[in-house]
Amino acid sequence: MHDKSLRELATGLRNREFSSSELTRHFLDRIGQHDSSLNSFVTLCEAEAMKSAEAADRLLAEGDGHVLTGLPLAHKDIFCTRGVKTACGSKMLDNFIAPYDATVVEKLSAAGMVTLGKTNMDEFAMGSSNETSFYGPVRNPWDTDLVPGGSSGGSAAAVAAGLVPVATGTDTGGSIRQPAALCGVTGIKPTYGRVSRWGMIAFASSLDQAGVFTRSAEDAALVLQAMAGFDERDSTSLDREVPDYAADLSASVEGLKIGLPSEYFSAGLDDTLRDVVDQAIKEFERLGAEVREISLPNSGLAVATYYVVAPAEASSNLSRFDGVRYGYRADNPVDLEDLYKRSRGEGFGREVQRRIMIGTYVLSAGYFDAYYLKAQKVRQLISDDFRKAFESVDLILGPATQGPAFRLGDKLDDPVSMYLNDIYTIPANLAGLPGMSVPAGFVNGLPVGLQLIAPWFAEGRLLSAAHQYQQVTDWHRRVPGDFS
Ligand code: GLN
């Protein structure tokens, strides 16, 4: 059952080939059997999952329910889940049981989906390799000596290994597209504001956006449809109608103008990966797309800009973890100052502390103009580059990463080389644009992804272009040998 798409599983449920309870049991058993080699799950909700599956079966028996009713899913452990531990990869929240559901969780549960558990992630979503988690690294199902990418590495690895057919993620600078690329699954980050951030633990609020990992664009369309939409509890969520993504998948690529940013094809890109992207471009041309070169002249400034803006927002968001209200509290503090210092010093890991220090520095009175304000101006230039590009093209195509997955430990002591991992994904976050990574081939036996970026609110165009590509290629159907 784990080799089927969501659409096929939904049909199987309706045709009584299997029940939601059987399906749920099957995936829970696979997690039990395989996750010790991956560490992709941090919490399993076995009893609750079986209960929701039974409820879904009753609905289905009456001929009711949503297309997603009875289908299993996992949530990145950044989404609050009522009554269930929500630790965000951190010792700071290791004792935190969320008192409410995030909007994303609420919506997918309301559609009848069955939550199997919570997936491992980089601490507070800071990382590109899933090695900063308090719960240990996640391993890549294609080669367990390699990283799965981060920060939503648990979700990407779980979907790639067939431990769950769909998992949620968040993308602040690439945390859906980068691990999707390195694990060989489909990942979409919608337009900023398309999906509610309510109940999603905040990292950098002007960049964070929820999305999903699935095997195919068609599956992503079904789930995104149920996740997206206005939420009055999130003041940045956008009050715009959500189109019927699944119904629009058949839109042809014929005549679609695709831009290739010259800056994304320059030095630093692995040669074999470049060949993979070239093959994908040819596929789109065969499908009738018109491909042309474009320029995003300020994209070279994106990583530096991001590493001012994101830590600044993180330092502010993470100030709430003070050892007083909830989360980790140091033992036997001598006074309030000691309580703050030791709770934060012991509760946060190294990378999170580094971000808090960078953020506090760039926001300090003496450096605010030189760093933070400057970064906001460059952010606008990056956004303007895209606005201009989209005057002449409908979609932008490029690599999602510079190369395939790297070895665990390789970049852990070199933060700058780790930060450079997201060189192709960060620009879309700074501009708030929707982006997607689609499996496009292999480099040294490891999956790599093709990145598609669309104008604001054009997730539908992204999904249909990816779907058309997946009709003529089978990269998204490849599964890692040990998990077939
Ligand atoms: N790797 C980037 C970072 O560490 C992006 C993470 C993310 O998108 N959450 O900040």
Assign residue 150 the CATH number of its domain. 3.90.1300.10
The 3-state DSSP class for residue 79 equals strand
**Residue 240 sits in the same domain as residue 370:** no
> Does residue 23 contact residue 72 with C-beta atoms inside 8 Å?
yes
Full residue range of the structural domain in which residue 479 is found:
6-249+462-483
Catalytic residues: 76, 151, 175
Candidates 203, 420, 422: which one to mutate for ligand 1, based on the most atoms within 8 Å of Cβ? Answer: 422
Q: Is 181 left (phi over 0), alpha (psi -120 to 50) or beta?
A: alpha
Alpha carbon of 287 to ligand 1 centroid (Å): 34
Which of 79, 119, 121, 126 has the most ligand 1 atoms within 8 A of CB, as the residue to mutate?
126
From the CA of 301, how far away is ligand 1's center (Å)?
16
pLDDT attached to residue 268: 83
Out of 354, 377, 400, a domain closes at 377
Distance, CA of 225 to CA of 113 (rounded, Å): 13
The answer to whether position 259 is within a domain reads no
Q: Which atom of ligand 1 is nearest to the CA of 203?
A: 9
Domain count, the chain: 2
Residue 85 burial (CB count, 10 A): 16
CA 212 to chain CA centroid, nearest Å: 6
Same domain, 130 and 237: yes
Same domain, 184 and 81: yes
Is 286 within the bounds of a domain?
no
Of 196, 191, 235, 170, residue with least CA distance to 106: 196
Specify if 314 maps to a domain.
yes
Distance of CA 422 from the midpoint of ligand 1 (Å): 8
Same domain, 183 and 48: yes
Tell me which of 377, 399, 433 is where a domain ends: 377
Q: Is the CB of 313 under 6 A from ligand 1?
A: no
**The ligand 1 atom nearest the CA atom of 172:** 8
Residue 191 alpha carbon to ligand 1 centre in Å:
17
* Measured distance CA(230)–CA(237) in Å, rounded: 6
Statement to judge: residues 91 and 179 lie in one domain: yes
Residue 436 in tokens: 């997607």
Both 39 and 156 in one domain: the answer is yes
Q: What pLDDT does residue 451 have?
A: 98
35 falls within a domain:
yes
Taking CA atoms only, the protein residue closest to ligand 1 atom 5 is 173
Q: Is 429 in the pocket of ligand 1 (CB under 6 A)?
A: no
Q: Global pTM?
A: 0.98
Residue 355: inside a domain, yes or no?
Answer: yes
- Answer whether residue 329 is part of any domain: yes
Indicate whether 242 and 309 sit together in one domain: no
Q: Decide if 401 is inside a domain.
A: no
With respect to residue 387, please indicate whether it lies within any of the assigned structural domains.
no
Structure tokens at 373: 């304000």
Q: How far is the CA of 178 from the centre of ligand 1 (A)?
A: 9
Does residue 42 contact residue 118 with C-beta atoms inside 8 Å? yes
Q: Is the CB of 422 under 6 A from ligand 1?
A: yes
Ligand 1 touching residue 151 (CB < 6 A) = yes
Last residue of a domain, one of 321, 352, 377: 377
Co-location of 102 and 239 in the same domain:
yes
Contact 64, 70 (CB under 8 A): no
For residue 294, what pLDDT is reported?
Answer: 98
Q: State both tokens at 200.
A: 């999603």
- Residues 324 and 225 both lie in one domain: no
pLDDT at 482: 92
Q: Is 230 found in the same domain as 163?
A: yes
C-alpha of residue 415 to centroid of ligand 1, in Å = 12
Q: Is 472 found in the same domain as 330?
A: no
The answer to whether residues 17 and 165 belong to one domain is: yes
Q: Which atom of ligand 1 is nearest to the CA of 152?
A: 9
pLDDT at res. 399: 97
Give the per-residue pLDDT at 441.
Answer: 98
Query: Does 175 contact ligand 1 (Cβ within 6 A)?
Result: yes
Task: For residue 43, report the phi and psi dihedrals to the nearest 5 degrees.
Answer: -140, 135
User: Mean pLDDT by 10-residue block, N- to C-terminus, for the chain (484 residues)?
Assistant: 93 97 98 98 98 97 94 98 98 97 98 98 98 98 98 98 98 98 98 98 98 98 98 96 94 97 90 96 98 97 98 98 95 96 98 98 94 97 98 98 96 91 96 98 98 98 98 97 92
Amino acid 437: pLDDT? 98
